[in-house]
Amino acid sequence: ETGVTQTPRHLVMGMTNKKSLKCEQHLGHNAMYWYKQSAKKPLELMFVYNFKEQTENNSVPSRFSPECPNSSHLFLHLHTLQPEDSALYLCASSPVTTSNTGELFFGEGSRLTVL
């Protein structure tokens, strides 16, 4: 139990569906992240939020839309995805981003399959 909870753990969707991934952290952190993990590739940073404000968008296609209503919750809204978007999506949190020691607390991930 890392204090970061992701739902759903598994999601299968068609290319025309709209779905959302949810992340909640109980650690009192102010920074939250979305990462994409594909087989045999390094973790790819997608978005960073610091104190609810988006501070980084790593050239992510607009079919991925993040939302951070408060420092404890982070969503990733998905629409018109492609099969190559199938991957494990990891949420992480840290106290703040500015010091960036690299110490992240990850959730268990949401395994997404796009048909």
Using CB under 8 A as the criterion, which residues of the chain lie in contact with other proteins when the complex forms? 2, 4, 6, 40-43, 45, 90, 92, 97-98, 100-109
CA 83/CA 16 separation, integer angstroms: 11
Q: E strands along 71-109, which residues?
A: 73-79, 87-94, 105-106
CB closer to other proteins out of 87 and 90: 90
CB closer to other proteins out of 16 and 103: 103
Q: Which residues pair with 70 in a beta bridge?
A: 73
CB closer to other proteins out of 76 and 104: 104
Q: How are strands ordered across the β-sheet holding 73-79?
A: 4-7, 18-25, 73-79, 64-70
CB of 61 to other proteins, least distance (A): 18
CB of 84 to other proteins, least distance (A): 18
CB of 1 to other proteins, least distance (A): 11
CA 19/CA 49 separation, integer angstroms: 21
